[in-house]
Amino acid sequence: MSMDELFAPMKEPMILGAAISIVVGAVAIVAGLTYFKKWGWLYKNWLTTVDHKKIGVMYILVALVMLFRGGIDALLMRAQTAVPENGLLNAEHYNEIFTTHGLIMIIFMAMPFIIGLMNVVVPLQIGARDVAFPRLNALSFWLFAVGAGLLNISFIIGGSPNAGWSAYFPLASTEFSPGVGNNYYAWSLQISGLGTLMTGINFITTIMKMRAPGMKLMKMPMFTWSALITNVIITFAFPVLTVALAMMTLDRQFGTKFFAMQDGGMDMLWANLFWVWGHPEVYIVILPAFGIFSEVISTFSRKNLFGYKSMVMSMVVISLLSFMVWVHHFYTMGHGVMVNGIFSITTMLIAVPTGVKIFNWLLTMRHGKITFTTPMLWALAFVPIFTIGGVTGVMLAMASADYQYHNTLFLVAHFHYVLIPGTVFGVLAGYHFWWPKIFGFRLNEKLGKSAFWFIVVGFNVAFFPLFILGLDGYARRMYTYSADTGYGPLSMVSFIGALAMAVGFALICYNIYYSFRHSPRETTGDPWDARSLEWATQSPVPEYNFAIVPKINQLDEFWYAKKEGRDITAGKYERIHMPNNSGAPLWMSGVMFLFSLFFVFSEWTLVIVFAIATLGFMAYRSFENDEGHYIEVAEIEATERRLRGEK
Amino acid sequence: MSKVNKSLPLEYSTEENDLKIFGFWVFLGAEIILFATLFSVYFTLVDRTGSGPIGKELFELPPVLVETFALLTSSFLIGLGVHAMRLGRTKAMMVFYILTLLLGAVFLGVEINEFLTYIHDGATIQTSAFLSSLMTLLGTHGAHVTFGLLWGSSILIQVKKRGLNAKTANKAFIFSLYWHFLDVVWIFIFSFVYLKGVL
Ligand code: HEM
Ligand SMILES: [Cu+2]
């Protein structure tokens, strides 16, 4: 590929502007780090860390950045369609934006945000010192970061994918999507997906094998339960994606005929494989949010979670059903009545366990002493809004009716009505809830609540009109429409709602700065008077988590111990073994980044060089003998005293 | 992590080792899904041969039987290797592992030769959907075997240099799980690709 083609996207003024601002931003960061001599600090404390809490924080940081990238895409789309026949974006640019918006929001925002919270919280909730494979955990993070980077540079170098986040064939084939955009799609997903699979394996092992003594499965906090089930889904769903993406790469770059229109290829095979992974993916991002809501609602209602067992059961049922509904994404693509009927029924069945959970949350709140903190507000708003999403989901699940409104804005409204309250509200609740645990001070409640109102009101203003527009026949993925369709006014309303949401997200960021400056530091470790084990540690949590690993007799042991005046973390300190930091995950991911980048451009010599380098890293790791280090008793004592605020 | 439990075999003797073996089983779960997907793709596309050859015209049983024999025997030998390891007989263990890897190399040689014959006969990965799926399935298994040869050799070097300890024993044991897994996958390929194809 020539330089001219490589930087072709820059001919577009908006992309050039974005590119320049990225370069300026990057230069500013590099200059700042150099000026304040922070490189060593950054490398030693963050880039090479294997501490699950820091890895979690990095996940959340990248997820927030991606929320902004995906959010700008969204604003641009709503701006483009705010008035009829708008010329802000052309068709091609619009295609790229809805593709990257969907991909980034689901793969590089929702999922990593959730995995980030899991990283921070799960080992603490089960009383563990770390995850089972700390270094693998770092590798997972860096592979995800590298995948996100790959997708984000695509819009400057070579061009973004533009065949939708579901990349249906034949649209995504080289015939209809020439250029490298869809190669980027395949490789950014492939690389980050590998990281996700490793996370799945790591967390299943952690939760199954590293729980504090006495913590039987049915004594685990609900968020940990949701994490366990989610990671099982990850482990079973992601290999399907791996194969599908490999086949996409082979078809696009090596001329195989999997999805081709001639020589026996079968385009529907892609649709099937994609959604066999894609529908479970929806639950990968939503079940942990359910877990978060369970923790938040029971904490701020001062009551035990209602129906613990049925909560667990319904998650298990949802996870099984999630693998049996994929065809509902393409009822209209030529199946028989029988097939559509079966998938229609399995889809509607999911509403049953979901309904069970909704009722359990409501019953938890009943007669509770509710405090309306920011996390609780997110949980409260979730219930009615998600219910609208669920009801419209059942409407879509009726195959015969779906012929009417499928691929209209009705569908777009539906999945935003489940994804935004389900996932985004969930992670925001978790973020506010666990922030003091991670950083040792609370986020400002007033700012948190104003952000909440902007986002919740903005959300409904932005998305409710889309149900009406959709039923009116406004097809999804259209970059413009004529004035006599009458779509104009409601589209403008929707744009205004999106702007309000943007204000809300900006407030969330400002809150970080404001609280860092002004919030009082927190020394109890338990600012919300909460229930599960993570609140038994100091805040911020020391490297080794628990100085003394607690013994567990019941669900919410920490809560009952508090009420009975017992200290479950009392005992005699012993020295603690911890893994050493390592630069290998970072550098290996860097090498795999270059490998993928050159693969995208079919530069085979360089591909081979970096493939060999990757294998070299694996061999190096295999031969390395790293015994970790010990934290001595004196150091533990000093740390604990300092975090308790004693001199 | 440094606590060693003497009552367990070396490969399970530390907490870390126990975690690694458990984690590897979970990983094998993911690998099963990976191959299951490849098999489903193959079954979906097996009759979609376009203008290219069909399986019956392509498959030859004798080399496939050699491959099967090599892999099955190697799987048996690595079992003996693990047994020797449990008895603490490092030398014997290494011999069994080396034989395993050699048979793996034989398998790979025959497979590469088979691929070359196909290509020579004008049946390439681009010819038809059937051949794309066949060669991807076989290729993925073959790539696993290739990776296994590199991995196994690296473990042998470590056993040679450092002797049998909790770490090396753990690695050698996990590798044996991997190798058995490849054998099982091959049995499916043998039955459902080749036998079904020629019948
Ligand atoms: C409450 C139960 C749910 C039901 C009954 C349901 C049903 C459906 C149906 C039938 C479609 C296909 C519509 C069509 O193509 O015409 C669909 C699409 C979609 N759903 Fe759901 N859904 C549910 C929950 C969720 C959740 C929880 C999420 C995300 C967190 C979600 C995200 C999506 C997405 C992203 C699409 C878009 C598919 C595309 O790009 O074509 N759904 N849903
Ligand atoms: Cu679905």
List, for residues A443-487, the tens digit of each pLDDT value.
999 999 999 999 999 999 999 999 999 999 999 999 999 999 999
What is the CA A503 to chain-centroid distance, rounded? 21
Q: Which helix (H) or strand (E) holds A44?
A: none
Q: Nearest CA to CA, how far is B20 from chain A (Å)?
A: 8
Task: Please tell me whether the overall predicted TM-score, pTM, comes out greater than 0.80 for this model.
Answer: yes
- Residue whose CA is at the smallest distance from ligand 1 atom 27: A418
**For residue A644, is pLDDT > 90?**
no
For residue A346, which ligand has an atom nearest its CA? Answer: 1
Write out pLDDT tens, residues A535-551: 999 889 999 999 999 99
Share of chain A above pLDDT 90, in %: 80
Contacts of B3 in chain A (CB under 8 A): none
- Cα A270–A275–A276 angle (5° rounding)? 100
Distance A452 CA to ligand 2 centre (A): 28
Q: Average of pLDDT values for B83-99?
A: 95
Tokens encoding A63: 């997820």
Please tell me the predicted confidence (pLDDT) of residue B4: 66
Decide: residue B106, CB within 10 A, 0-12 exposed, 13-18 middle, 19+ buried: middle
Residue B3 · residue A116 · CB < 8 Å: no
Residue B24 to residue B174: CA distance in whole angstroms? 7
Residue B26 · residue A235 · CB < 8 Å: yes
**For residue A30, is pLDDT > 60?**
yes
Residue A244 to residue A273: CA distance in whole angstroms? 6
Q: Nearest CA to CA, how far is A150 from chain B (Å)?
A: 24
**For residue B161, is pLDDT > 80?**
yes
- CB distance B129–A265 less than 8 Å? yes
Tell which A residues from 256 to 285 touch B, by Cβ distance under 8 Å. 256-258, 260, 262-266, 269, 273
As for the ipTM of the complex, it is 0.95
Residue A614 · residue A588 · CB < 8 Å: yes
Q: Average of pLDDT values for A19-27?
A: 81
Mean pLDDT of chain A: 93
- CB distance B23–A205 less than 8 Å? yes
Q: Average of pLDDT values for A253-280?
A: 94
SS3 A630: strand
Please tell me the predicted confidence (pLDDT) of residue A647: 62
Least reliable range by pLDDT among A193-207, A233-247, A540-554: A540-554
Write out pLDDT tens, residues A567-625: 888 889 999 999 999 999 999 999 999 999 999 999 999 999 999 999 999 998 889 88
Residue A397 in contact with ligand 1 by CB distance below 6 A: yes
Candidates B26, B162, B165, partner chain A, best to mutate (most A CBs within 10 A)? B26
**For residue B1, is pLDDT > 60?**
no
Residue A67 in contact with ligand 1 by CB distance below 6 A: no
Q: Which helix (H) or strand (E) holds A578?
A: strand A576-578
Asked if omega into A579 is within 30° of 0 (cis), the reply is no
**For residue B3, is pLDDT > 80?**
no
Least reliable range by pLDDT among A202-216, A391-405, A481-495: A391-405
Residue A396 in contact with ligand 1 by CB distance below 6 A: yes
- CB distance A133–B23 less than 8 Å? yes
Residue A174 · residue A211 · CB < 8 Å: no
For residue A278, which ligand has an atom nearest its CA? Answer: 2
Residue A496 · residue A461 · CB < 8 Å: yes
Tell me whether A63 touches chain B (CB under 8 Å).
Answer: no
- Cα A421–A427–A429 angle (5° rounding)? 85
**For residue A16, is pLDDT > 70?**
yes
Tokens encoding A120: 């921070």
Show Cβ contacts of residue A337 under 8 Å, excluding neighbours closer than 6 positions: none
- Of A15, A104, A115, A17, nearest to A65 by C-alpha is A104
Distance A463 CA to ligand 2 centre (A): 20
- CB distance A269–B45 less than 8 Å? yes
Show Cβ contacts of residue A289 under 8 Å, excluding neighbours closer than 6 positions: A114, A422, A423, A425, A426, A427, A429, A430
Q: Average of pLDDT values for A184-208?
A: 97
Residue A542 DSSP label: P
- Of A306, A393, A283, A388, nearest to A349 by C-alpha is A393
- Residue whose CA is at the smallest distance from ligand 1 atom 34: A415
Least reliable range by pLDDT among A273-277, A518-522, B167-171: A518-522
- Cα A4–A5–A7 angle (5° rounding)? 75
Please tell me the predicted confidence (pLDDT) of residue A335: 76
Q: Average of pLDDT values for A426-450?
A: 96
Q: Terminal CA-to-CA distance of chain B, rounded, Å?
A: 54
Residue B6 DSSP label: T
- CB distance B30–A200 less than 8 Å? yes
Paired sense of beta strands A576-578 and A629-631, if any: antiparallel
Question: What confidence category does residue A26 fall into, taking pLDDT thresholds of 50, 70 and 90?
Answer: confident
Residue B134 to residue B155: CA distance in whole angstroms? 31
Tokens 């065949």 correspond to what residue? A163
Phi and psi for A337 in degrees, rounded to 5?
-60, -40
- Residue whose CA is at the smallest distance from ligand 1 atom 23: A393
Q: Average of pLDDT values for A185-214?
A: 97
Q: Average of pLDDT values for A118-130?
A: 96
Distance A278 CA to ligand 1 centre (A): 10
Residue B184 to residue B71: CA distance in whole angstroms? 10
Please tell me the predicted confidence (pLDDT) of residue A330: 87
Residue A245 to residue A486: CA distance in whole angstroms? 40
Least reliable range by pLDDT among A206-210, B52-56, B76-80, B184-188: B52-56
Residue A129 in contact with ligand 1 by CB distance below 6 A: no
Distance A168 CA to ligand 2 centre (A): 15
- CB distance B22–A273 less than 8 Å? no
- CB distance A256–B45 less than 8 Å? no
Residue A423 in contact with ligand 1 by CB distance below 6 A: yes
Q: Nearest CA to CA, how far is B12 from chain A (Å)?
A: 14
Share of chain A above pLDDT 70, in %: 99
Q: Which helix (H) or strand (E) holds A631?
A: strand A629-631
